[in-house]
Structure 1
């Protein structure tokens, strides 16, 4: 995957500044894609809901395609609260822990974690007129953020429970890189199918109005086709009180 442009960072006391976003990314075989939403035939829905246990072994978390729409700039993305501010969507507070498999999975301090995900409608900020959304949000930057891990290897983000779009299960994109701009891992965070079903069938009062017609479950999602237990988050809470997500991402550093 071409990352030379991304590695041209300027570091400052506030964090880092990177060059403009690279829209195209690569799949696991290295072929160019414009998005990661094309595994489902016109969103008819596929797969079945299943509950599985997350894999917590000390092995590297699977890498996934970067797309769609990575957060590469600006430096103002260094923030913990990445909500739109429109009050739509139930709050999701995510605590992400980064550990180093080359150090017996000890906490990894002072590395950067970028996350980005879609809104309740399945739309991403910064982009428009794609195969997955009709609205143009080119000049908006919501639901994107960057944080640096603390001594416990942790970062925290406040966002909303993501929506979904055709061909994909609910997910969050994550990019972990060191202070020199070297990529340690690009991955995605998965959600329990039954939880997503609950949110999308019971959450109309919070903006989740799409239901599950056309939804692609984890076991039919081509991004998670090699298994998703190492990318599965643990989520507690409720629509009314908000959700709390936790996950440990394993990298080699």
Structure 2
């Protein structure tokens, strides 16, 4: 089955298989039937993606602006190169519905990049990553429950080196850790359409000690979609998407986020966000400020160098912010 034939199929398969990056197992179909944030929200966005619209429903496309390269960041310890080929990554995770719509373009020519494979992964509302539930809340501590600890403290102090994902953060370059379990919620891979758009349905991420609220991403290009999936090519971008403080504060007062007792790092305090707005991965958000639980739309144009290789295994330099676009321009 060719890639074009896959895109014409109207519905997502009933069973989504595990896939790998260099050989993404196609689960028998391409386009996913639109599923919404409360119904119509995502349906409108998926329809807009197919029409190539850059704004909300009904607006005519606007000329694409040139963007600087989106900032590279480290991969982090919790990337799994065996994800799911899907746009809805929610599974059973509770949280504020989030529709993430990205546009991938060549930062030099400003042309959209079609058929790129885009990965996203992030923690749930209480800071836990799928595949690493034994690690607990992302910094290596137990998953927060809102309840105080019970029982006497340990009689002996801990011995040996601290865990690599402890309160001081992951090791330089991300220090990849092997998965502890087979869960894969809030992880997924999908391809960009002919206008460079890709849309994911997920939930608003939570937080853990040492990091602000964020979503990880990788963009793979120059490969080939075959009957077996996506093969070859190079990882041209490894980055993270960030949320403004106002939206995060709005999430903290509703469950299950309110049960997350981990100390929260703000956007300004985060050691990876480079303060460059959209260039640095700051998402443009739309939601009802009176009731964020109705759902959030997030969007960003991601400028990449399709000939580069950025695996995210080292700590990238913090770029100058003097000429970067604002978050509202994405």
Structure 1 length normalisation: TM-score?
0.72
Alignment-derived partner of residue 138 in structure 1: 181
Give the structure 2 partner of residue 249 of structure 1: 302
Provide the rounded CA distance (Å) in 1 between the counterparts of 2:26 and 2:183. Answer: 25
- 1:63 equivalent in structure 2: 72
CA distance in 2, matches of 1:106, 1:62: 18
Match of 2:251 among 190, 196, 199: 199
Match of 1:109 among 111, 114, 136: 114
8 Å CA contact 2:285–2:296 kept in 1: the answer is yes
Residue 108 (structure 1) shift: 0.8
| Structure 1 pair 129–211 and aligned structure 2 pair: CA distance change class (3 A) | closer
Q: Scaled by the length of structure 2, what TM-score is found?
A: 0.56
**Contact in 2 for aligned 1:121/1:163 (Cα 8 Å):** yes
Deviation at 1:175, TM superposition (A): 0.4
Partner residue of 2:196? 153
The residue correspondences of 1:165-176 to structure 2 (distance < 5 A) are 165-176=208-219
Question: Residues of 2 paired with 1:8 and 1:84: CA distance?
Answer: 20
Asked if the contact 2:211/2:264 (under 8 Å) is kept, the reply is: yes
> What is the total number of aligned residue pairs between the two structures?
199
Alignment of 1:119 with 2:169, yes or no, is: no
List alignment gaps of at least 5 residues for structure 1. Answer: 1-6, 16-55
Residue number among 77, 82, 86 corresponding to 1:73 in the alignment: 82
* Contact kept in structure 1, 2:209 and 2:265, CA below 8 Å: yes
Q: Give distance in 2, aligned partners of 1:193 and 1:153.
A: 28
Contact persistence 1:123–1:133 (CA under 8 A) = no
**What residue is the counterpart of 1:9 in the other structure?**
22
Separation of aligned partners in 2, 1:112 and 1:200: 32
SS at match of 1:67: coil
- Specify the structure having the higher radius of gyration (Cα): 2
RMSD across aligned C-alpha pairs, in angstroms? 2.4
For 1:109 and 1:120, how far apart are their aligned partners in 2?
A: 32
2:257 counterpart of 1:208: yes
Distance 1:133 1:144, change over 3 A: farther
Is 1:89 the counterpart of 2:95? The answer is yes
* 2:272 aligned to which of 223, 232, 236: 223
Cα distance in 2 for partners of 1:71, 1:232 equals 24
Q: Deviations over 1:92-141 (max 9, x none)?
A: 011011010132x1111011100000000000000134343436971211
Question: Is there any run of 5+ residues in structure 2 with no aligned partner, and where?
Answer: 1-19, 29-64, 144-178, 224-231, 307-330
Q: Check the 8 A contact 2:104/2:302 in 1, yes or no.
A: yes
- Asked whether the 8 Å contact 2:132–2:181 carries over to 1, the reply is yes
Q: Distance in 1 between matches of 2:204 and 2:115?
A: 27
Match of 2:82, SS state, is coil
CA contact (8 A) 1:8 1:181 kept: no
Q: Following TM superposition, by how much is the alpha carbon of 1:150 offset from its aligned partner in structure 2, in angstroms?
A: 0.1
